[in-house]
Structure 1
Amino acid sequence: MNIERTLLASALLLAFHPAVRAADDQQTINEGKIQQVVVTASPLRNGEGDQILTPAKVLAGDELRDKVGNSLGETLQNELGVSASAFGAGASRPIIRGMEGSRVKMLENGMATSDVSGLSNDHAVASEGAVARQIEILRGPAALLYGSGAIGGLVNVVNERIPTALEPKPTGQIETRYSTVDDGKNVSGTLDGAVGKLGLHLDGNMRNTDDYQIPDLRVMNDPTSRMNRLPNSDTRERNVGVGGSYIDDWGYAGLSASHLTNFYGIPTNAGSHIDQRQNRYDFDSVVKNPLASLESARVKAGYTDYHHAELDDGVPATLFSNKSFESRIELTHKPLTSLGLHGTFGIQTENTHFSALSAQGGPDTVPVTHSTTQAAFLVEEWKQGPLRWNAGLRYENVDRKPVSNRERTFDLGSGSIGALWPFTPGYSFGATLSYAQRAPGTEELYSGGPHDATLTFDVGDPDLHKETSRNLELSLQKTSGLLRWRVNAYRNNVNNFIYGHVTDAMFDEDGNPGGDFRQRLFQQAKAHIQGAEAEMTWNQIGMGWNGRVFADTSHGYLDDAGNLPLQPADRVGASIGYRQPHWRTGLEWTHARGQERLAAFETTPTPAYNLVDANLSYTQKFDSMDLTYFLTAKNLLNEDVRLSTSLLKDIAPLPGRNITFGVRAKF
């Protein structure tokens, strides 16, 4: 579109204009107020702007509070290169650069969430953004250090349930909000304190929402489907977490426990619900300078007991279960003066028991399968003249042993190397090259039954090969001054890409021909994903006026088999805001082009849309407490928005105009 080309051209001209660069040089006050945000999922815990192999985005503070939604997909869907699966209000998972499911790894405090959200879009992520301190998005090859499933990137929800520092006095916040589009009520809070050398943490969240309002039609292009609310889009979520750690000069060691219940609707014609429950237990310990050559030693372990039932008219149809134990050891060595190397090496193990069994005596969707993973990884960073280099290696062995099929074992290797060249003060150019492999998931190998929420009869292939991905990424960025910008371009070639091909064959719940379930076969082909992203920001942290413009595009296709399914639409957007010590306001516009790049089995293109959001907040001091009154508005134009990345795009539009207001007390 002409408007997109004009916007990007104007942004680039503005970035290099001498007057703007002079204004940047004069900004010492605001620059002094900028605090570096640490990316906790980075092995070397670098700042957000220091990543070489991992273009990173960190949502924290006011920005996170403005964007937090009922799901992680909703919270992150307007970030650069990120879209959402949008399977109703309760289940929306982030999609990064057109890659979804098991290719995008979900972490909580650097450990896998160990849910089953990567198996199907109707499964919610078992992690809550309402109590998060920050949410980190990592795209690129260094994310592979967390597993072969992170080919597309990772999302890390940081809630710091295991404290790493002693608070001199109790701190925390409590927030309550109400949303008009779904009569939503949400209360969340966190509390941190210390008793001697013991740090303590408590957090909780409670959310109830009714079926949300939609602008007009439920079914795209069907005037007879006009209605006010989307049936079966209700949610009810409860989450509580507690943790403690012993903290001393040598480091810390701590434990945490959490419990999650989540009951939400699936807005398909079948009208099913999902009843999700998870108990999680974590251990984390860091020892500083354990040896003369080591900067730190970290040991982490986590056990997760996850279950969910897919309910048909209130009766369980399929029972999903995943019990997982994960361990991780990271050793960070001190800089080697002779070579200038600074890095982290370690090992990771995972042991899971997964199943998706029929509750009514029919075929099991996925049989009971025991999977084990052992991995070793290494990441190093060094300087060579003006260049900063980063390289990573990972070896992984995955074994899948089902009770009713043959065992498969996969040896996986991943490697990456990248360099950042600051060719002039404040400007840098980066390039990364990576090679990664992914083992087929349990459901891709062994599925053989109905999936009620998606109305598909899934058929796996135990002969599937491992995926092999080769990725090249280039970036150009301005990293100092009030005006900052970045441009990324990437191409990813994947051999043996696994995808679910939906055929015209129909089956009943027992696998007999005829019925309501479309057959979905897991197949492989060579795939290519390529795209670009551009973003420019002005004064994103300081007082006064601020602004942002962005654009992103991604295109994935299969050799001799057409487009990849559920491809994101091309987007362009802009925002403007104003900050004072007590007042803050902003207005944001996002335009998505119509998406007509359909897979062979997709039939309906998605139309273009415009999203306009706004926010307003006021903060006042009340004794030692900051009291913030806030108002946010989403989809102010009340547009009928259909996401091309959603399996339900034909029958489930996004919510209409939504006004959320609330109050937050921080102490």
Structure 2
Amino acid sequence: MHHAPNLQVLSAFAFRPLLIAVATAFSIPAIAADANVAIDLPTVPVTGNPLGVASDELVVPIAVISGRELSLKRESTLGDTLNGIPGVSATQFGPNASRPVIRGLDGERVRIMQNGTSILDASSLSFDHAVGVDPLIIEQIDVVRGPAALLYGGSAVGGVVNAIDHRIPKEQLEGATGRAEMRFGGPSNTRNGAAVIDVGNGIIAIHADAYTRRTDDLDIPGYAVSRRKSEQDGTPRENRGKLVNSSAEGDGGALGAALTFDNGYIGTSFSTMNNNYGVVAEENVRIDMKSNRWDVASEFTDLGGMFNRVKLRAAHTDYEHRELENGSVGTTFKNRGLESSIELGHRPLGALSGVIGYQFNNTNFEALGEEAFVPSVNTQNQAAYIYEELAIAKHKITFGGRLGHTTVDSKDNANFGTGQSNSFNPNSVVLGGLYNIDSNWSVTGNLSHNERAPSYFELYANGAHMATGQFEVGNTDFKKERSKGVDAQLRWKDAKNSFSIGTYYTRFSNFIGLFGTGNEIDVNGEFLPEAKFMTVPAVFKGVEGEAKFNIANNLNLNLLGDYVHAKDLRNDKYLPRIAPLRLGAGLHYQRNSLGARLDVLKAFAQTHTAENELKTDGYTNVSALVSYKLPTKLNLELFAKANNLLNQEIRDHASFLKDISMQGQRSILFGLRGDF
């Protein structure tokens, strides 16, 4: 694979001597302290509302993880980091590839972004493809649940996950600020490290970060193959205690800079990531992934005239991964593209405030090699959107609309025939409201109509997909996928105590899903079950809730729960890979330098299964964490995380590999983190 010379220099300079970077980062607090400079990280507006209101003022259901909480919750993948948030599960294709699943919806229906623009990779095409961002460098993650997230992409009927970093500084900074952390242990013998630093003189701010990650094959409490699968098709139960071919190694980093002003900034950054990991579904296959990304961003506020705020974002990504079979390149996937958006906020018109915006992206996807089951495709999306809030006393009404145009054009290919062209005009609208009953209680609700253009693989797939063990067939006659939804939340907040419970109902008139046909296709002498993308009427409904109660001076009780019920209305059958009922509780203690947590997550058995889908046993995952802030001038904290203390066989029903893979055995991970 070709590496540009400047990337080689960056890799050699930034990634290998990570420990030097960590040491350097922690030597700077003394310099800043001597200069008596007050330093603080900028607060990032919450995704889900372009007006920048606080999360408890949002009409849409949202979860925000940042700071120390995110640092202690980080896992090896984005999906596993978010798994367990009410309404969120994960695809979990082994420990190295996992996308978030929101309210039972995954793939293209969950839009994954980095700083407000799409992460361009191949993770929605196949569950064994990792997401193109590493949790080690993320500063904040926002999870917006439900189709009210339509401002961030017409396909986001499930929701939006926005991974936020400070690679382009957005605030004036004088002095230096940063963080670093190292981790060792866990069920995969993790050796991770990351360092982040920002420096500035009040006008120019510069950012740098670097990370490295190494893991061995995952230790598991039993056989990788489930008893049910072995009894069903005779698959032998081998390799007890070890998930073969699940090791990984990777590194990455970024450099960014910005000019900062009293009312805005303009900046750019370059980031790169490398990831080499085993595909647990195929013992001799590894994926060697590389992604380079340029970002440009600017925002200015307090402007005169009708429009008093402008925000510009653009990102160009060059993504490539090679699937190595016994060390030889089998199939290569490439995805290159540009996404940009401009957003204008108008000055208040009485009690009305809002924004208008325009988004555009152009991506070129290529699959080259023996196992390429989709042709090369160019996809273009453009959309105009509007979002408005009308304040009525202490209440508000919100409105959002999106008009889009999408073209999906395949290229001529010897295996797929003459190229084809498809175009769609997906339009979406949402109406919401927030009613404050009193100073503690409030109710929110959203009504939405959402349209999604079919993805390139839903249209053009035609070949053996070895990661899922199926011969997948698309349909070029698909129309727009349409759905209507309603969700509502009841919220309560009083000082350190809070509570929310919500429910939702989404009905698809033509849900695009991958369904087995019962036929078998001969692929070089091996017969694979045929699966076709088809449209069916479908309903997704559920409930989710969480609560936090301060039960003593330094002790909090956290509660959570969620449930999804999803059916194919064509034949009144359940849809596949839907997470079961989950209930959780945790005690979190913090006093001075000492912190401790004990969390229990109970996932019930999933017996509501689709055709040819095996049931999944329930489990109880008990985890614990102890942290201690060291009595030093530096803000250093030691922590130890224990997971799966009952050493149970944890198989998540939302995972495509649940019957040949599981989560790790009882383990302890040790870490050191710090910030200044």
TM over 0.5: yes
Q: Residue 357 of structure 1: CA displacement?
A: 2.4
Post-superposition Cα deviations, 1:443-476, rounded to whole Å, max 9, x if no partner, equal 0101112223222222111011111010011111
Distance 1:116 1:218 in 2: 26
Picking from 537, 544, 554, the partner of 1:544 is 554
Aligned to 2:630: 620
Aligned to 2:71: 65
Aligned to 1:205: 211
**SS of 2:174's equivalent?**
coil
Q: After superposition, where does 1:580-599 map in structure 2 within 5 Å?
A: 580-599=591-610
Aligned to 2:361: 350
Picking from 619, 638, 661, the partner of 2:647 is 638
Q: After superposition, where does 1:359-370 map in structure 2 within 5 Å?
A: 360=370, 364-370=372-378
Aligned to 1:568: 579
Conserved? CA contact 1:380–1:391, under 8 Å: yes
Aligned to 2:381: 373
Conserved? CA contact 1:41–1:110, under 8 Å: no
Post-superposition Cα deviations, 1:151-178, rounded to whole Å, max 9, x if no partner, equal 0001011112100112221111111110
Conserved? CA contact 1:310–1:453, under 8 Å: no
Q: Which amino acid letter does the alignment assign opposite residue 363 of structure 2?
A: T
**Percent of aligned pairs sharing the same letter:** 34
Q: After superposition, where does 1:496-535 map in structure 2 within 5 Å?
A: 496-509=510-523, 514-535=525-546
Aligned to 1:430: 444
Q: Residue 111 of structure 1: CA displacement?
A: 0.6
Q: Residue 207 of structure 1: CA displacement?
A: 0.5
Post-superposition Cα deviations, 1:84-109, rounded to whole Å, max 9, x if no partner, equal 11101110111000000110000001
Post-superposition Cα deviations, 1:617-640, rounded to whole Å, max 9, x if no partner, equal 1113433x2011111111111110
Q: After superposition, where does 1:12-51 map in structure 2 within 5 Å?
A: 38-40=45-47, 42-51=49-58
Q: Residue 140 of structure 1: CA displacement?
A: 2.5
Distance 1:247 1:548 in 2: 40
User: CA distance change for structure 1 residues 316 and 519 in 2, over 3 Å: closer, same or farther?
Assistant: farther
User: CA distance change for structure 1 residues 41 and 51 in 2, over 3 Å: closer, same or farther?
Assistant: closer
Task: Say whether 1:661 aligns with 2:670.
Answer: yes
Post-superposition Cα deviations, 1:204-259, rounded to whole Å, max 9, x if no partner, equal 21100010100012211158436121001111121111110011124210001101
For structure 1, the 5+ residue unaligned runs are 1-34
Q: Residue 384 of structure 1: CA displacement?
A: 2.0
Distance 2:210 2:454 in 1: 36
Distance 1:654 1:421 in 2: 42
Picking from 552, 559, 569, the partner of 2:569 is 559
**SS of 2:425's equivalent?**
strand
Q: After superposition, where does 1:106-121 map in structure 2 within 5 Å?
A: 106-121=112-127
Q: Which amino acid letter does the alignment assign opposite residue 629 of structure 1?
A: L
Distance 1:267 1:196 in 2: 49
User: CA distance change for structure 1 residues 38 and 327 in 2, over 3 Å: closer, same or farther?
Assistant: closer
Aligned to 1:26: none
Conserved? CA contact 2:335–2:365, under 8 Å: yes
Q: Residue 196 of structure 1: CA displacement?
A: 5.1
Q: Residue 429 of structure 1: CA displacement?
A: 1.2
Q: After superposition, where does 1:242-253 map in structure 2 within 5 Å?
A: 242-253=255-266
Conserved? CA contact 1:488–1:534, under 8 Å: yes
Picking from 295, 303, 313, the partner of 1:282 is 295
Conserved? CA contact 1:166–1:193, under 8 Å: no
Aligned to 2:281: 268
Q: Residue 431 of structure 1: CA displacement?
A: 1.5
Aligned to 1:165: 171
Aligned to 2:11: none
Conserved? CA contact 2:148–2:446, under 8 Å: no
Task: Say whether 1:186 aligns with 2:192.
Answer: yes
Distance 1:267 1:508 in 2: 24
Distance 2:143 2:222 in 1: 34
Picking from 271, 286, 292, the partner of 2:305 is 292
Aligned to 1:10: none
Conserved? CA contact 1:265–1:273, under 8 Å: yes
Q: Which amino acid letter does the alignment assign opposite residue 444 of structure 2?
A: G
Aligned to 2:12: none
Distance 2:97 2:52 in 1: 30
Aligned to 1:399: 407
Conserved? CA contact 1:323–1:354, under 8 Å: yes
Conserved? CA contact 2:48–2:58, under 8 Å: no
Post-superposition Cα deviations, 1:360-381, rounded to whole Å, max 9, x if no partner, equal 4x7x411111111110000011
Distance 1:441 1:95 in 2: 17
Distance 1:313 1:509 in 2: 20
Picking from 253, 278, 288, the partner of 1:240 is 253
User: CA distance change for structure 1 residues 271 and 503 in 2, over 3 Å: closer, same or farther?
Assistant: farther
Conserved? CA contact 1:82–1:95, under 8 Å: yes
Aligned to 2:18: none
Conserved? CA contact 1:357–1:365, under 8 Å: no
Post-superposition Cα deviations, 1:116-172, rounded to whole Å, max 9, x if no partner, equal 211221111101111111111011333111111210001011112100112221111
**SS of 2:218's equivalent?**
coil
**SS of 2:70's equivalent?**
helix
Distance 1:41 1:259 in 2: 27
Picking from 545, 564, 578, the partner of 2:589 is 578
Post-superposition Cα deviations, 1:388-409, rounded to whole Å, max 9, x if no partner, equal 1111000110011111332100
Q: Which amino acid letter does the alignment assign opposite residue 218 of structure 2?
A: Y
Distance 2:443 2:674 in 1: 42
**SS of 1:62's equivalent?**
helix
Distance 1:427 1:551 in 2: 20
Distance 1:37 1:538 in 2: 26
**SS of 2:526's equivalent?**
coil
Aligned to 1:17: none
Q: Residue 422 of structure 1: CA displacement?
A: 0.9
Q: Residue 292 of structure 1: CA displacement?
A: 2.0
Picking from 90, 93, 96, the partner of 2:96 is 90
**SS of 1:652's equivalent?**
coil
**SS of 1:443's equivalent?**
helix
**SS of 2:198's equivalent?**
strand
Post-superposition Cα deviations, 1:617-667, rounded to whole Å, max 9, x if no partner, equal 1113433x2011111111111110011001111110111112110111322
User: CA distance change for structure 1 residues 224 and 469 in 2, over 3 Å: closer, same or farther?
Assistant: closer
Q: Which amino acid letter does the alignment assign opposite residue 57 of structure 2?
A: D
Q: Which amino acid letter does the alignment assign opposite residue 463 of structure 1?
A: D
Distance 1:464 1:310 in 2: 30
Aligned to 1:150: 156
Q: Which amino acid letter does the alignment assign opposite residue 495 of structure 2?
A: G
Aligned to 1:389: 397
Post-superposition Cα deviations, 1:294-342, rounded to whole Å, max 9, x if no partner, equal 23101111100111122222222221111110110001112112xx111
Q: Which amino acid letter does the alignment assign opposite residue 655 of structure 1?
A: G
Q: Which amino acid letter does the alignment assign opposite residue 43 of structure 1?
A: P
Conserved? CA contact 2:410–2:420, under 8 Å: yes
Which is worse superposed, 137-146 or 395-404? Answer: 137-146
Q: Residue 501 of structure 1: CA displacement?
A: 1.2
**SS of 2:80's equivalent?**
helix
Q: Residue 37 of structure 1: CA displacement?
A: 7.3
User: CA distance change for structure 1 residues 543 and 395 in 2, over 3 Å: closer, same or farther?
Assistant: farther
Q: Residue 382 of structure 1: CA displacement?
A: 1.3
Picking from 172, 177, 180, the partner of 1:174 is 180
Which is worse superposed, 91-100 or 160-169? Answer: 160-169
**SS of 1:601's equivalent?**
coil
